[in-house]
Every structure is written in structure tokens, then in C-alpha cells.
Amino acid sequence: MNSRQVQSLTLLTLLVVTSGCGYSRWARGVGAFSLPAPAALAQVDSAYLGVSTIHTLEEESTLIDHYSSTGYRPGQLTDFIKQDDLRAREAAISVLRDYAIMVSDLALGKREQELAAKTKSLTSTTAAGVRTAMATTASTNTTTNTTTATNTTSNAVKVNTTLTDTTTNAGSSTKTGSVTSTLTSSRNTLMTQQQMNMVISGMDAAIKPFIHHMVKKRLRPLMKAADPTIQQLCVLLSEDLVTLRSQAKSDYLVLLMGQSEFIQRNMYKFSPLELRAETKKLYQIERDAAKADSDLTNASDAVKRLAETHHQLVTGERHGAK
Amino acid sequence: MEQSEVRILVATAQNSVAAAFWVATDAGVRQSLSDLGLCLNQVLTLLNQEDLSSRAEEFNCAADWMRGSVLPGIKKLDASVERVTQVEGAVKVALSDAMKLSQSVSFFKLPSIV
């Protein structure tokens, strides 16, 4: 190898290593957006259902409290969120989730993982097949050569050494020399398991930078184009969460006041155990209210983080996004 | 007055009502405050429902755009990565087959060599 070839090889190695590092940093940035996204969006999804359920409880409780004056009429309970409005949110959440999963699969190498699994299974199947072939050959031989034993125990499966055993079995001293030379030359042309593994590893190393380049080059503009819509959707979800939080707070307050009123009105009609059970509900409502408020705040924070991380990723503000 | 300002006003009034409710001892006063709290809740619910329905169109538009423009682009890229990996997989299988074949050929060639 001359000095120019050495220089070219060094340059190529540096290029591959550098682009590999850049890709890893970018992929980590994508992961910071896409990996927490499904959980964050699930929180938002359940917030709509949670607040609707609390509102129905509040309506039901109020109707029960006013039963003596208003009586019962079917259809008094209403949905807090209309079905069409809810469907619009579900569609937006689902599209954001799909986007995050697809981006994550591509940038974080789901394909590579599948490929590695395929290679592993392929290699082990081949090795098992070759071992079976060797075992079959060995069982037909009456004489055992020490070379065969050595090769059977090692994973570097050199089937051609078995051929040497077979020639020994022929027992002809005059033919052994020529056959050995033929086999020696054929030994060089046969591929060992070790060699095949090396070729496969080489292919992996050669194809990965190509896939990384293709993904980064084509995915980044798509993510950049998607960013304004991602921001818009996250703002809409955040505003919804503000609305949901105020509704939940108010509904729990009415539930709490209603329950307190109910206890005050009937305090002397309750048995001690009933009074205890009804009073306990006040604290339960208070705990539920605090938990709902905390969940809604967390969901809101998660959506804000999602929007920020995505924006930083496409504008290059996030470390390694460039 | 904007809707958000009305919402803040209602929420503040509700907090004041609740504060008065928890310190009131007279049953009649408590009942009135509870009713007032309920009324404010109904006003707030109406405002919130209006808020949620007024944004449905924006949600739909944004989701449609993502579904129509961004996701197909990513799917297309995903398909080309898949094709590359398939080609690589096929080469690997061919390599494995070639290895098996070279071994088999050696086994069966032996008698003719001898």
C-alpha cells in the first residue's frame, strides 16, 4: 500500500467516524423528542376523559341534591365535550403520536435492530447447519483424526479439514500426496464461518453510514416543515389543558361544597358510622382534586417540553442537532 | 371583555364564594353560597365548552396537514430504508448459501478427486 492509499484510507476512516458521531448526537436529539412523546400524549388523551368524568359526577351529584325540588327527568346529564370536538382532539393526538413513533423508528435505528437480529439468526442457523454436516461426515468415518477433533470443538468451522480425514480413510499412501495438495488449494477457496462473519460485519459497517446519511438528509427537512404544525398543535393542546384544569377545579369545588352541605343538613340523622363514612368522602374529594390538578399540570408541562424539544431540534438550538 | 378575562373573573368569584362558604355557620347562608357556587360553575362550564368547540376546526386542519403532507414523506423514507436493508439481507442470505454450497461441493467432489 503506497502513501497516497494510506492517506485516502485514513481520510475515509475519519469521515465515516466523524459522520457517525454527528449522526449519534442528532439521533439522541430526535430521541429526546420522540421517546417521551407517546407517554405525554397519553396523559393529554386521558385528561379529556378524566375531566369529562369529573364533570358528569358533578352534574349527577347536583341533580341528586336538587331531586326534591326538580324531580327526575331523563336526559339531564350532558357531555362536557361534544363528540365531534373530542374526535378532533383524538385525531390530533393520534397524528402526533404516529409522527413521533415514525421519526423515532427511523432515526434511532429500528431497522438496524431488525437487521442485527436477522444477521444473528442467520449466522447461528448456518453454524448449526455446518455442525450437523460435520457430525454426519464424522460418523461415517472409522478413523478419527486429531485435526477433526480440534476443528469440531472450535467455532471456526473448516469443513475442508474433514476432507483430510476422508483421504486418510482411503488408505492409499501413493495417492495421499496429490490429494493433500489438491485439498490444500481447495482449503484456501472455502469460506469459514469466521470469514463469513467478517464479511457480514463489513457489510454492516459499510451500509450503516449510508442509511444514516439518507435518514438525516431526508428526515430533517420533513421535521422542519412539520415544526410549525407541531407547535400549533401543542399550543392548542396546552390551551385545552388550561380549560380542563379550570373546569376540574370548579367541578371538584362544587362536589366538595355539595357534600359538605349534605352532611350539615343530615348530621343528626346519620348513625356514627354513616357520619364517619360521609365525612371521609370530603377528604377523598379533596385528595382527588389535588391529584387531578397535579396530573393536568404534568400533562401541560409535558406538552410544552415536547414543543420546545422539537423546535430546538429543527432549529439546531439543541446540542448536536446540526 | 375577552373570554379568557371572563373566565378569570368567574374563577376568582368562585374562590371568594368557596372561602365564604367554609367559614359560614348559618345554614341559610351556606345554602345560598353553595347555590351561587353552582351557578358560577355552570357559567364557567359554558365558557369552557365554547372554548373547546371553537378550536375543533384548528385541530382538524393541523391534523389533516400532518396526515396529508408529513407522514407520507416519512413513510416513503421508511420504505427506502427498508429496501436498502432488504437488499443487504438478501446479500447475506446469498453469502450463507454460497458458504453451504462450497462445503457440500467439497464433500461430493471428493470421490472424483480420489
Q: Could you count the other beta carbons within 10 Å of the beta carbon of residue B83?
A: 10
- In a domain, residue A291? The reply is yes
Contact A32, A314 (CB under 8 A): no
pLDDT at A179: 39
Domain membership of residue A292 as a residue range: 20-70+77-107+216-315
User: To which H or E segment does residue A14 belong?
Assistant: helix A3-34
Q: Which amino acid belongs to residue A135?
A: A
Nearest CA in chain A to B13: A250
From chain B, the residues in CB contact with A175 under 8 A are: 114
From chain B, the residues in CB contact with A119 under 8 A are: 92
Mutation site for B-interface testing, chosen from A130, A185, A213, A257 by largest number of B Cβ within 10 Å: A257
pLDDT at A321: 45
Per-residue pLDDT tens digits for B52-67: 999 999 999 999 999 9
Q: What is the band of A241 on the pLDDT scale with cuts at 50, 70, 90?
A: very high
- Number of domains chain A contains: 1
Per-residue pLDDT tens digits for A85-113: 999 999 999 999 999 999 999 888 765 55
Q: What is the band of A82 on the pLDDT scale with cuts at 50, 70, 90?
A: very high
Q: Could you count the other beta carbons within 10 Å of the beta carbon of residue A219?
A: 21
- In a domain, residue A189? The reply is no
- Which of the two residues, B76 and A20, has the higher pLDDT score? B76
- What value of ipTM does the predicted structure carry? 0.79
Compute the Cα dihedral for B68, B70, B73, B75 and give only its sign. Answer: negative
- In a domain, residue A102? The reply is yes
Per-residue pLDDT tens digits for B35-46: 999 999 999 999
Nearest CA in chain B to A174: B114
Grid coordinates standing for B31? Answer: 345554602
pLDDT at A183: 41
Given CB atoms, is B67 within the 8 Å cutoff of chain A?
Answer: yes
Q: Mark which residues 171-230 of A lie under 8 Å from B by CB.
A: 175, 179, 182-183, 186, 189-191, 193, 196, 199-200, 203-204, 207, 210-211, 214-215, 218-219, 222, 225-226, 229-230
